[in-house]
Structure 1
Amino acid sequence: MFNKLIRFSLLFLASLAASLPALGASPAAQREYVLGAGDVIRISVFQNPDLATESRVSESGAITFPLIGSVEVGGKSVPAAERLIATRLREGGFVQQPQVSILPVVMKGNQVAVLGQVNRPGRYPLETFNLKVSDLLALAGGVAPPGGDTAVLVGFRDGQPIRQEIDIPTLFANGGETDVLLMGGDVLYVDRAPVAYIYGEVQRPGAFRLERNMSVMQGLATGGGPTLRGTVRGLNVHRREGDQLKVFEPGLEEILRPDDVIYVKESLF
């Protein structure tokens, strides 16, 4: 009975371990870094300390390694570059069973760009395996005051072009689930926030930032409310729909759209 209990426990633990994800098997960990120009890598060969070297990937994607000379590693993942060097060492008769290890020391070959309404637009090196959209926005100094709530990410995945709209305020709403991992060559564009307009008998006529689900009443408040001569009765909204201009009298809870124009009339009394 005791032996059966032990066997059952061992089987249970084995099945439990098999059902658990492997340590470090997160999407970030599964990504393989692709070497590029400007990267500095440290190469070592097991039990061959004299072959240990540190080299910079040239603009043509090549490095120089002892005994085998120039090796094209640009555009290859780290494991692929390790296999290539090992093959060259073995085929050259220098090491019978080479075990090559490559450690990226400085990763500058892969860059990402952030453009549009951020405080520091430009190109940034992809220096870590798990750089995300939120990290890139932080590097760029955050969204500038005129910036909107939506960013557009363009790039390539598995050789196919992608275009993904990212809602910036909800990046952390789901525990970071919507925070996208970046890859070399990605471009993030933060568009300008949509605006609406208010004019007529209001305290502060002009353009104002259109917040999400902003109502006519909130737009009126943004304009400081009516002047002493103004009235909300007969208030109009001018809205462009395709090639047509629609003018209507909305309820105060009507949701505004980008480029709407609120007109506050003068009171007749």
Structure 2
Amino acid sequence: MKRLAQRTIGAAALVALSWGTALAQAQTAPAPATTAAVVSGNAPAIAPGVAPDTRPREYVIGAGDVLRVAVYQNPDLAIETRVSDTGQISFPLLGQVTVGGLTVPQIEKALADGLRTGNFVKQPQVTVLVTQVRGNQASALGMVNRPGRFPIDVSGMRLSELLAQAGGIAPGGSDVVILTGIRNGQPYRLQVDIAALFASGAQSQDPVVLNGDTLYVERMPTVYIYGEVQRPGAIRLEINMTLMQALASGGGLTQRGTTRGLRVHRRNGEGRVEELQPGMNDTLQNGDVIYIRESLF
């Protein structure tokens, strides 16, 4: 019995020593660096030829987010609260604490430091969980598979990531998308060719999405062909598509069709429809209507 008690006491001392060492390391570990990009949630676009930032992209707390805070072995300090418009929460014993613009680890450290310096808890272990993201959101509208509002759950979220949350471009949607928002107090509008973004390996040009931005996907550009063709109707307008390529997409001419007297109806800048007679290698524009005549012989 005496040996058993000694072993039990030795094991307990070893556990206590290990726990104290872990706490000391956690307290002396340097706090995560707070840069302007992290605080504001604005990560600048990566310039061509510059290696991307591989640091973990922590979510930045914003007004309206709901946080669940717990302190180990102190259930009376557990709260679930919403971040106010001023970026603050009310925490027991500490009062108003500013959390807006901070990451979750930074908030945990700030609360733990406040409890420790105030002599409320000797070795506080604070856990913060984001239960609802309301402070940083962006919208995806138009020809996407799941239109709606989506949380910006990481700092420096890219347009392609928002598009993925929306389920990607829906059938019939254009490869060119439009991102609108506010930058430096001024209206912001940017067109991005998604196909070119990945085909050319220019992912560094993938713009950063900020709180309140809207991604809009238009319908795909279309030309219309009718008359003596095999498959009349609407055709997707590819980049730099020529008249000859459009005829091929329509299945070619029928036995009675002819390219003589071929006409293209196009709306000009003033809104009037003009009748053109382009060459077979001329490029088409969105909304063009191609008419194939019937051969007289």
* TM-score above 0.5, yes or no: yes
**198, 214, 219: which is aligned to 1:192?**
219
Cα deviation for residue 100 of structure 1 reads: 11
- Aligned equivalents of 2:184 and 2:57: distance in 1? 14
Q: TM-score, normalised by structure 2?
A: 0.66
Cα deviation for residue 107 of structure 1 reads: 5.8
| Residue of structure 2 equivalent to 1:21 | none
Question: 1:154, 1:188 within 8 Å by CA — same for their partners in 2?
Answer: yes
Q: TM-score, normalised by structure 1?
A: 0.72
Cα deviation for residue 255 of structure 1 reads: 0.4
Q: Which amino acid aligns with 1:249?
A: Q
Give the alignment's Cα RMSD to 1 decimal: 3.7
When structure 1 is superposed on structure 2, of 77-86 and 233-242 the one drifting more is 77-86
Unaligned runs of 5+ in 1: 1-23
Unaligned runs of 5+ in 2: 1-50
**254, 258, 261: which is aligned to 1:227?**
254
**245, 250, 262: which is aligned to 1:218?**
245
**123, 134, 143: which is aligned to 2:149?**
123
- Aligned equivalents of 1:101 and 1:193: distance in 2? 51
Question: 1:107, 1:127 within 8 Å by CA — same for their partners in 2?
Answer: no
Question: 1:53/1:27 Cα in 2 relative to 1: closer, same or farther (>3 Å)?
Answer: farther
- Aligned equivalents of 2:236 and 2:144: distance in 1? 16
Cα deviation for residue 88 of structure 1 reads: 8.1
Secondary structure, in 3 states, of the residue corresponding to 2:280?
A: coil
- Aligned equivalents of 2:159 and 2:152: distance in 1? 12
| Residue of structure 2 equivalent to 1:248 | 276
* Percentage identity across paired residues of the two chains: 43
Secondary structure, in 3 states, of the residue corresponding to 1:177?
A: helix
Secondary structure, in 3 states, of the residue corresponding to 1:190?
A: strand
Aligned pairs (5 A) from 1:6-155 = 26=53, 33-40=60-67, 42=69, 55-58=80-83, 62-71=88-97, 73=99, 75-78=100-103, 105-106=130-131, 108-109=133-134, 110-155=136-181
- Aligned equivalents of 1:64 and 1:118: distance in 2? 40
- Aligned equivalents of 2:97 and 2:58: distance in 1? 23
Secondary structure, in 3 states, of the residue corresponding to 1:153?
A: strand
Cα deviation for residue 32 of structure 1 reads: 7.9
Question: 1:201, 1:227 within 8 Å by CA — same for their partners in 2?
Answer: yes
| Residue of structure 2 equivalent to 1:13 | none
1:181 maps to 2:208: yes
| Residue of structure 1 equivalent to 2:15 | none
